[in-house]
Every structure is written in structure tokens, then in C-alpha cells.
Amino acid sequence: MALQRIDAENTDDILRALDQDGGVIVRTLVDTALIETLRDDILKASSDYSPGVANQGMGDWGKMFVGENTIRFSSLGLVTPAYFQLLENKPYQQIADAALLPHCSSYWVNTAQAMLIGPGSDAQILHRDCTNWPQVCEAGWPDCPEVTISAMIALEETSEELGATRVIPGSHRWPNIDDCGDPDMTVPAELSPGDALVYSGKLVHGGGANRTTDRWRNAMHLSFVVGWLTPEECCPLDFNAENLSGYSDRVQTLLGHHSYNPGGEYGGGLWLRHADSW
């Protein structure tokens, strides 16, 4: 069963497909000018990173998860100012609001990463992103809260041969959280530049194999997580208050520069700090 492809402005249809299949291809989530800037800046920065190096604090296990010939790096705001513009993307905001705000008063960036899959790479292990926080999603699975939502955004044409992300539609509702199916149940999310695979944290997925000998699968990931969980990426240490002073409240919140105010629901205040305008 192929994923549905829906234009970015059709939010209701996107949310329906996301609920039904666990993932959806959003056409032209990011406009051409912005995606070209992101592509140029990210590919230029990629020469500073070696494939397969677990440089994000995950050690040898990280190497295995990332893949030996895949380049990954985060802290994208240090690489390109276009990253901050991407954080203001309205269609993705509408999707994330609908998915996450029933379960929290605000959410923040989980991680933003370049994910460049090199020639000859094997497919990544199939997994669910929500199992980053197993105690949260195992309780009541599959009806537990949606805690994270992701977009794999194509910087360039992303075909099956190049290693398009693979997903198992419907696996967000499977009765056993430990069941990640097998590769022949997956379908590729082929994308044109600026398109994105938007998917639930509950969906089984993994990076595809790059079967070419000389071309890279150039894409980036941007995910959000509910404000009461610790994100993958340590954003607030990359950008201080001065760096973010000219940016919107949304960007500052997404990058960890406001407390988590539960507003009378969703537990207590978190990430508190005695500082003006925090």
C-alpha cells in the first residue's frame, strides 16, 4: 500500500492520512528558494563530517544505527540561518499542533539533522521513534499519547534506489510495540526536493538502502517532541538568549528558551529558570 501524496495546504487531508496510515507524503512542504538554501549550506557543511562517525554521544551503538556510509549531523542553526526559517514553516506547524497539542501545552525541537545516505549503504534497522521514551509509549500502546512527530525533508530528488525512507503504513496501530515487521512489508517514500515524509512517532520506518555506486540520498530530518520529555538534541546549548533575541516566540520555545508551562493541565511546570522573559 503506497503512502498518500497530499499538497501542503490541505491540512485536513494530511491529518486524515496521518491518522489512517501513520505517515503521509506532503508535497512542497518547503518552498524552492528555502530548500535550495538548506541544500547548499548543508551539503557544504557535510565535508566537515565523516560517514558513520557516532559523534552525537551515542558511541558504538550509534555507529550501527546511523550506518557506516551515512553522514549525520545536527545543530543545523550553526550551519545555516535558513534553519530558523524552516522552524516557522506554517503547514508543518499546523500538523505538529494537531498531533502534539492534545497531549502537552507546548512542544520543542526533538532533533534536526542532515541525513545523507552514501552509495552502497544498507537499509537502516526498522524502528519506531517513540521508543526513545519507552516507558511513555509502552503504557497503553497503541493508544498512548502521540509524543513525537517527524518530517524527512528532501533536499534533492529522493528515489527508492537512492535510499528513500521506508515505512510500513498502518504499523502505528499494531497491537505489539515490539513488532517492527520486516523489510518486505515496507514501501519507499520517494520525494522531490521540498517534499516531506511526515510520520507519527509510532510508525515503523527506517532509512532505505542506497543501491547506487556514486550518488547520495540527501535529505534532512526535523522532529518535535512534547514539552514534558527530553529531546534527542541539546538545542539550548547551541544557541544562547542573545543568538535568539531577534527570533519569534515560537522559535525560542522550540529551541528550549522558555519554561514549560502546563497551564493547569498536563502536570507541573518544567524547565524553570529565574530570569526575565524566560
| CB-nearer residue toward Fe ion: 41 or 129 | 129
Residue 24, amino acid: V
Name the residue number minimizing CB distance to Fe ion.
Answer: 129
Query: How near is the Cβ of 73 to Fe ion at its closest, in Å?
Result: 16
Query: How near is the Cβ of 129 to Fe ion at its closest, in Å?
Result: 5
Other Cβ atoms closer than 10 A to 81 = 11
How far is the first Cα of the chain from the last one, in angstroms, to the nearest whole number? 47
**Which of these, 242, 244, 265, lies nearest to 254 by C-alpha position?**
244
| CB-nearer residue toward Fe ion: 199 or 247 | 199
| CB-nearer residue toward Fe ion: 29 or 152 | 152
Query: How near is the Cβ of 65 to Fe ion at its closest, in Å?
Result: 9
Query: How near is the Cβ of 147 to Fe ion at its closest, in Å?
Result: 14
Indicate the DSSP class of residue 264. T
Distance CA 46, CA 128 (A): 26
Query: How near is the Cβ of 247 to Fe ion at its closest, in Å?
Result: 27
Query: How near is the Cβ of 150 to Fe ion at its closest, in Å?
Result: 7
Contact 73, 113 (CB under 8 A): yes
Among the residue ranges 78-86, 123-131, 235-243, 261-269, the one whose residues contact Fe ion (CB under 5 A)? 123-131
Among the residue ranges 1-9, 42-50, 111-119, 126-134, the one whose residues contact Fe ion (CB under 5 A)? 126-134
* Range list of H helices, 46-182: 59-66, 82-86, 90-100, 134-138
| CB-nearer residue toward Fe ion: 129 or 232 | 129
Cross-strand pairs, 116:
71, 218
Among the residue ranges 106-114, 121-129, 157-165, 258-266, the one whose residues contact Fe ion (CB under 5 A)? 121-129
Size of the site for Fe ion (CB under 5 A): 1
In the sheet that holds 166-167, the strands lie side by side as: 187-188, 166-167, 205-206
What kind and span of H or E run contains 41? helix 32-45
Contact 152, 111 (CB under 8 A): no
Distance CA 32, CA 34 (A): 6
Residue 11 main-chain phi, psi, to 5 deg: -55, -45
Among the residue ranges 4-12, 106-114, 124-132, 247-255, the one whose residues contact Fe ion (CB under 5 A)? 124-132
| CB-nearer residue toward Fe ion: 221 or 258 | 221
232 in contact with Fe ion (CB under 5 A): no
| CB-nearer residue toward Fe ion: 71 or 244 | 71
Query: How near is the Cβ of 127 to Fe ion at its closest, in Å?
Result: 6
| CB-nearer residue toward Fe ion: 208 or 239 | 208
Other Cβ atoms closer than 10 A to 47 = 8
Q: Which of 21, 41, 129, 233 binds Fe ion (CB under 5 A)?
A: 129
Task: Using CB under 5 A, list all residues that contact Fe ion.
Answer: 129
